[in-house]
A and B are shown apart, each in its own frame.
Chain A
Amino acid sequence: MPGSLVFPAHMALHLLVVLLLPPLVPGLIAKVKARMAGRTGPPVLQLYYDLAKLARKEAVFSRTTTWVFLAGPVGAVAAGLVASLLVPFGHTPAPVAFEGDVILFAYLFGLARFLTILSALDTGSSFEGMGAAREAAFSALAEPALFLGFAALAKATASLSLTPMLLAQGAAGVRLTGPLILVLAGWAIVYLAENARIPVDDPNTHLELTMIHEVMVLDHSGRPFALVLYGASLKLVVLGALLIDLLLPATSRPWLDWLLFLGGLGLLAVAVGLVESATARFRMTKVPQFLVAGILASGFAFLLLLV
């Protein structure tokens, strides 16, 4: 049967994309931002160079830290990799799919966040503690937006598995268009917040007191820090796949599906770069309002589907 032969090829491609592609996304965002500002900017492949450099560097550990400090980066990458197997990349089914995997998907990221926060607290630094508090507070508001979006899609597709939930949109027809736009809006906010992008956080700032995510990894170095950077880029791809899948039209050719997905990922990176070029960061006190807007958008999508 041709299907069974093709499927392992897809799976291999899926794994390759997960392992090799993510560092390209931050590079693309940085390039777009640089171009918008009239600068040449670093090479698109810069993060690959950085990872190679960090892999050869010695890690420095503070005397106050324990194994928890290392559990942050390792756990975050492990959780991200497992989560990546649950999400379909374009109109190709995910390597692993079962009823209810959406809950696992969401809480794998919850686990990653929990470990990152713990490893930040493990350093005993006042900066990292502040960052951990901010991360915990803001992610508590980002999570409902993600879940209400899932609820809306589950209602529309009568499924609790990511692959049918994200890919059945084309068939669902006009009735879904309104809720879909609202889910996209809510998730776009979640995407920016979860990935520590402007306007919620500034991944490029050097000002510790203003950081949310970045400040939690200030004490990491060498290979653990390489894992942190890779994990962050992985998150850009995996959460990005949620947004892209909702938008992509299905084609009859598998290779075209893949091309569309990769193209969509590139466009998403460009879009993030454009947002970051056009707007300043919110004041920290305004961030919850922004996240609540995400909850409202996803929540209304769910309400629309209930009536």
Chain B
Amino acid sequence: MNPTPLLPLRNGQAAPLREVPELPLAAFRAAVIGGVRGGQRLACLCADAERRLFAVLADDAAGTLRVGRTQVEGPRYRSLTPDCPQAHLFEREMAEQFGIVPEGHPWFKPVRSHRPWNGAADPWDRPADLLPAVMDFYRVEGDEVHEVAVGPVHAGVIEPGHFRFQCHGETVFHLEIALGFQHRGIERALAGGPHPLTFKMAETAAGDTTIAHAWAHCRVLEGLAGVAIPPRTELVRGVALELERMANHVGDLGALSGDVGFLPTASFCGRIRGDWLNLSAEACGSRLGRDWLRPGGLRQDLEPLLAERMFPRVGRSWMETRDAVELLWGAASVMIRFEAAGRLDSVQAREIGLVGVAARACGLDQDVRRDHPYGPYGAHPVKVSLAQSGNVHSRAWVRWEELAASTHFLFEALEELAGTPCDPTPVPLPPLAPESFCVALTEGWRGEVLHLGLTDAAGRFARYKLVDPSFHNWFGLALALRGEQVSDFPLCNKSFNLSYCGHDL
């Protein structure tokens, strides 16, 4: 294999933009496609207003991120998607944001229903009053085929999204998911920053993944400012992230149980999730961990005394979690439901670039905390949880194992925090390096969160890109439903539990 022309960086390492190799389009294509064929993942593909494309390939085996860029001359270029399906949504996103049309894209549809930011011609020639989910849906024709449309207003208190099923009786032939209802223009608002609201926007990109996004954002800023974070502070951030994972995984297992009508676990987990959230609240004042972190350190440190007080509460919550979830594994009526639904094989999962819990449930052995260690995870490795079947059961099982691994981490971390004095209060960050590039990954509870910062000559963000795990995984849900029962959709959906606002940004 030819040596790749892409620049290897560590997770969170900044580099001057001139060091990021600018390749001709053909070489860029070859490098991305070759890298993905060689087992790397396309973690991010994005453009900026000057029609520069940036690619970030995650080389999990080597623990590096390989970055490269190219310049697209006209408004059209040859699409990567036919050779590299992982690029499909990124290319649609670039077309919508900057009017760069990928020629030969097999599924060329809008992503979030907004006009190109740079005033370029709309690739779809859409009318002026754009509405989300107003587009040509894939249709199956025939007398016995019927179409079921769900959303954007749902029966529960959840986010808006539109699902279009092509059904034959109770069997789903095809599911198309149309999102964009939650589009707030975060990336566009972040350009030109950092400004006073930057941190707030980054952290609320997906509200249930506050810590993972806040941490990735902090690491981009810290990388660009050249600031090193003391180990104790990193450990507190680890505690924050793992508490977030505990609360969400417990909530998910309870909700999965509720979706099949198994009440005990559903009821218990609802309460226990609150206990985990309250631990975050005790540590930082917010159940969702809002404003716990700040660029350069923490807004709210975790004092030794508090760590000591939290230790037994983590133990108690874990015991109750275990009792509640073990009821689930013991109920045959639940297992038969979990095992029958939502299977996605590992080949498809790899092809579409699945990340996080959903990927590990298909047997894809990837976890940013191990593969691209950051913060405390070098010194305190976390066991990567895997399952093989790729169905609802596997996704539930991976969550369950991750609960155990995270609890183990929390015990270790709290014990260490209880015995070490706090780091000095962090000083404000120095200005960001101009004309620089930095990518940071964190492993949120759903999966890989990526933040990419690119500064201009004045050290302001020329481009800020976020990739929530939901962006990679929504298509996986659509595939998992092929040939399934339409009545199993809510269960499959819950087993992925993807974020609408994280996708829509």
Contact = CB atoms under 8 A, between A and B. Distances in A.
Contacts of A39: 267
Contacts of A172: none
Contacts of B149: 126
A182 B381 CA distance: 58
A173 interface: no
A284 B333 contact: no
Contact of B487 (A37, A38, A206, A209): A209
Given A208-B155, A210-B487, A281 B267 contact: no
A280 B260 contact: yes
A36 interface: yes
A283 to B, nearest CB: 6
B340 interface: yes
B55 interface: no
A199 B331 CA distance: 13
Contacts of A202: 261
Given A37-B268, A130-B486, A210-B487, A283 B336 contact: yes
Residue in B149, B262, B266, B336 with the greatest tally of chain A CB atoms within 10 Å: B262
Contacts of B148: 126-127, 130, 209
B263 interface: yes
A205 interface: yes
A174 interface: no
Contact of B337 (A37, A208, A209, A280): A280
Interface in A249-274: none
B123 to A, nearest CB: 31
B262 A280 contact: yes
Main secondary structure of the interface of B (DSSP, over half): helix
Nearest to B259: A207
B262 A284 contact: no
Interface string A279-307: 11111111000000000000000000000
Interface in B108-147: 146-147
A276 interface: yes
B104 to A, nearest CB: 35
A167 to B, nearest CB: 35
B463 to A, nearest CB: 40
A210 B492 CA distance: 12
B201 interface: no
Interface in A86-143: 126-127, 129-130
Interface in B229-260: 257, 259-260
Contacts of B491: 210
A33 interface: yes
Interface string B257-286: 101111110111001000000000000000
A126 to B, nearest CB: 5
Nearest to A273: B263
Interface string A203-227: 0111111100000000000000000
Nearest to A41: B267
A206 B267 contact: no
Contact of A277 (B259, B264, B490): B264
Given A205-B261, A207-B259, A284-B487, A279 B333 contact: yes
Nearest to B487: A284
Contact of A206 (B156, B263, B337): B156
A92 B131 CA distance: 64
Given A38-B267, A284-B170, A284-B487, A279 B262 contact: yes
Given A127-B148, A280-B334, A285 B263 contact: no
A198 interface: yes
B489 interface: yes
A206 B340 contact: no
B341 interface: yes
B251 to A, nearest CB: 16
Contacts of A36: 263-264
Interface in B435-459: none
A204 B156 CA distance: 12
B150 interface: yes
Contacts of B487: 209-210, 283-284
B402 interface: no
Given A280-B331, A281-B337, A209 B264 contact: no
B263 A37 contact: yes
Contacts of B146: 126, 129
B485 interface: yes
A199 B261 contact: yes
B91 interface: no
B488 interface: yes
Interface string B323-357: 00000000101101100110000000000000000
B490 A33 contact: no
A276 B113 CA distance: 44
Contacts of A209: 148, 150, 486-487, 489-490
Contacts of A38: 267-268, 271
Given A130-B486, A199-B261, 4 more contacts: A37-B266, A205-B261, A276-B263, A280-B262
Q: 3 shortest A-B CB distances, which residue pairs?
A: A37-B267, A281-B261, A280-B262
